[in-house]
Amino acid sequence: MKKIEAAEFKHRCLELVDHLSVDGLIITRDGVPVAHVLPYVRNDGDLIGSLRGKIKIKGDTLTTGCQWEAASEQ
Which pLDDT tens digits describe the chain residue by residue (74 residues)?
Answer: 899 999 999 999 999 999 999 899 999 999 999 999 999 887 777 778 888 888 888 888 888 778 878 877 76
Cα–Cα distances (Å) from 72 to 2, 42, 68, 69, in that order, read 62, 52, 13, 10
Model confidence, pTM: 0.56
d(C-alpha 4, C-alpha 2), whole Å: 7
pLDDT at 74: 66
Is there a contact between 27 and 9 (Cβ–Cβ < 8 Å)?
A: yes
